[in-house]
């Protein structure tokens, strides 16, 4: 019982301190700079830079709703006897569990395996050419790799609690970095194809572990200089003591993210968005609220670029997750256009939005959760709603279009019968399902 209580308390402590990562600013820097190391053949994905930065802390935000997320952000590698003895642990998760038990391994954190699992998801998204999903997985990958380059994410002494330096975690990664991140510059460096991902990931964790003592020593030195751990003098001293290895850790994180994204892309067959016919489309937008979708993949997926022709009339644009694009205030949480998603837009006047891009691939699929979703319609022709949704018809509670018309299959209520290019639809499902468009 005491052991279970201790594990519970430990989980609470980790949730409090480890869900900060490098902090929002640090993860933005790391993710954005990763594209600077993309090789020439990945030139198309240079446009991901802002989106990777904007979604760099998504994994942190999931922590408040997903109880499995916290353990993905760290590994207390020095709690393993074999690491203390040899500087290594078994890389195979099942083998490690067989030695130490599932509870022990889980509590120590599963960061390296979270990185490898996210690589697999990224490769699958590349293979199926689901570009928005690939970008989001790449952003998550960047977050976890970034955590693997924050020394206090790979030690049991993650908050200085065993060295009398309580609070060093947030002082170093957030307090200091927020003040001095502008002094870090990185121009990218070459990458190679990663042949054995597990060796690569565990290799940089072992390499970065040596900086645990460096962070703690810098904290001690800064405290001695400033006489406290709170004021500007302390943070200036902490930066002076740590800036060399801190900049190197962030640079290495960006470079290694690029290497793992590149490996995932190569393993997926090196797909490029828009291998198909260039087409032109236009969305007719009304004054007030609109519920729309895109049935072509824009040449440049960045929302800022796509919405530029109507930006003077656009007040707000939202996706089904509530993420917003508000150009007047420079807010772009959406990042990139996704033909699987629907969008709500509010305009001050009517406008036509021209979109140039590539035809959507046949068989576009959308993973839908139980409850409400706002979906796009990626086809270029209107089609009977029953035919489009026949694979999930028995799970549909309600469908609503932008004019407020509804379809309720259980009561055979059909206020509209066609799904139309350019429109989006609110969909309520009684259980999760996969929608495959014809």
Could you give the CA distance from residue 312 to residue 65 in angstroms, rounded to a whole number?
36
Please say whether the beta carbons of 19 and 70 come within 8 A: yes
- Based on the fold, state whether residues 371 and 285 are members of the same structural domain: no
- Based on the fold, state whether residues 393 and 425 are members of the same structural domain: yes
pLDDT for 3 equals 36
pLDDT for 15 equals 44
Confidence band of 2 (pLDDT split at 50, 70, 90): very low
Could you give the CA distance from residue 11 to residue 5 in angstroms, rounded to a whole number?
10
Whether the per-residue pLDDT at 1 is higher than 60: the answer is: no
Across all residues in the chain, what is the average pLDDT? 91
Query: Do β-strands 396-400 and 425-429 pair in parallel, antiparallel, or remain unpaired?
Result: antiparallel
In a domain, 329, yes or no: yes
- Based on the fold, state whether residues 300 and 376 are members of the same structural domain: no
- Based on the fold, state whether residues 34 and 103 are members of the same structural domain: yes
What is the percentage of the chain residues whose pLDDT exceeds 90?
77
Higher pLDDT, 218 or 62: 218
Confidence band of 359 (pLDDT split at 50, 70, 90): confident
- Based on the fold, state whether residues 246 and 136 are members of the same structural domain: yes
Please say whether the beta carbons of 254 and 186 come within 8 A: yes
In a domain, 115, yes or no: yes
| CA quadruple 419, 425, 430, 433: dihedral, nearest 10 | 70
Could you give the CA distance from residue 273 to residue 126 in angstroms, rounded to a whole number?
9
In a domain, 73, yes or no: yes
- Based on the fold, state whether residues 328 and 374 are members of the same structural domain: no
Residue 308, domain extent: 278-359
- Based on the fold, state whether residues 287 and 387 are members of the same structural domain: no
In a domain, 24, yes or no: yes
Average pLDDT value for residue range 293-309 = 91
pLDDT for 51 equals 83
Give the end of a domain, one of 359, 378, 401: 359
- Based on the fold, state whether residues 169 and 33 are members of the same structural domain: yes
CATH (domain of 89): 1.10.575.10
In a domain, 272, yes or no: no
- Based on the fold, state whether residues 204 and 349 are members of the same structural domain: no
Give the end of a domain, one of 267, 300, 322: 267
Domain count, the chain: 3
Contacts of 44 (CB under 8 A, 6+ apart): 272, 273
Could you give the CA distance from residue 210 to residue 245 in angstroms, rounded to a whole number?
11
pLDDT for 436 equals 87
- Based on the fold, state whether residues 28 and 89 are members of the same structural domain: yes
In a domain, 297, yes or no: yes
pTM score, whole prediction: 0.72
In a domain, 213, yes or no: yes
In a domain, 273, yes or no: no
Give the end of a domain, one of 236, 267, 298: 267
- Based on the fold, state whether residues 211 and 337 are members of the same structural domain: no
- Based on the fold, state whether residues 51 and 166 are members of the same structural domain: yes
Question: Mind listing the pLDDT tens digit for each residue in 130-178?
Answer: 888 899 999 999 999 999 999 999 999 999 999 999 999 999 999 999 9
């Amino acid at each position: 019982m005491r052991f279970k209580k201790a594990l519970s308390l430990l989980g609470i402590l980790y949730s409090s301190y480890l869900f900060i990562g490098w902090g929002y600013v640090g993860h933005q820097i790391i993710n954005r700079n990763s594209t600077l190391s993309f090789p020439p053949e990945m030139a198309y994905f240079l446009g991901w830079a802002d989106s990777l930065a904007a979604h760099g802390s998504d994994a942190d935000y999931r922590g408040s709703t997903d109880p499995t997320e916290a353990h993905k952000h760290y590994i207390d590698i020095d709690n393993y006897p074999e690491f203390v003895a040899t500087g290594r642990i078994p890389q195979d998760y099942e083998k490690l569990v067989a030695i130490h038990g599932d509870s022990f391994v889980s509590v120590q954190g599963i960061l390296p395996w979270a990185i490898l699992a996210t690589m697999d998801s990224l490769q699958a998204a590349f293979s199926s050419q689901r570009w928005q999903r690939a970008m989001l997985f790449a952003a998550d990958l960047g977050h976890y790799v970034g955590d693997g380059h924050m020394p206090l994410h790979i030690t049991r002494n993650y908050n200085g609690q065993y060295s009398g330096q309580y609070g060093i975690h947030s002082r170093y990664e957030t307090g200091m970095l927020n003040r001095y991140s502008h002094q870090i510059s990185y121009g990218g460096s070459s990458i190679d194809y990663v042949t054995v991902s597990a060796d690569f990931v565990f290799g940089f964790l072992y390499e970065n572990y040596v900086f645990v003592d460096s962070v703690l020593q810098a904290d001690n030195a800064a405290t001695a200089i400033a006489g406290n751990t709170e004021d500007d003098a302390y943070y200036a001293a902490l930066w002076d003591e740590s800036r060399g290895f801190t900049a190197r850790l962030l640079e290495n994180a960006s470079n290694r993210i690029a290497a793992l994204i590149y490996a995932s892309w190569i393993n997926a067959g090196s797909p490029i968005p828009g291998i198909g016919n260039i087409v032109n489309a236009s969305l007719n937008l009304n004054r007030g609220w609109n519920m729309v979708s895109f049935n072509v993949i824009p040449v440049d997926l960045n929302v800022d670029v796509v919405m530029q022709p109507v930006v003077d009339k656009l007040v707000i644009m939202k996706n089904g997750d509530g993420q917003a694009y508000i150009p007047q205030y420079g807010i772009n949480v959406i990042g990139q256009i996704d033909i699987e998603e629907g969008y709500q837009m509010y305009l001050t006047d009517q406008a036509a939005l021209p979109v140039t891009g590539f035809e959507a691939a046949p068989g576009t699929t959308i993973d839908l959760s139980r409850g409400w979703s706002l979906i796009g319609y990626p086809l270029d022709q209107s089609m009977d709603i029953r035919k489009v949704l026949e694979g999930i018809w028995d799970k549909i509670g309600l469908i609503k279009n932008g004019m407020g018309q509804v379809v309720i299959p259980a009561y055979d209520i059909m206020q509209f019968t066609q799904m139309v290019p350019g429109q989006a639809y609110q969909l309520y499902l009684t259980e999760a399902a996969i929608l495959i468009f014809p």
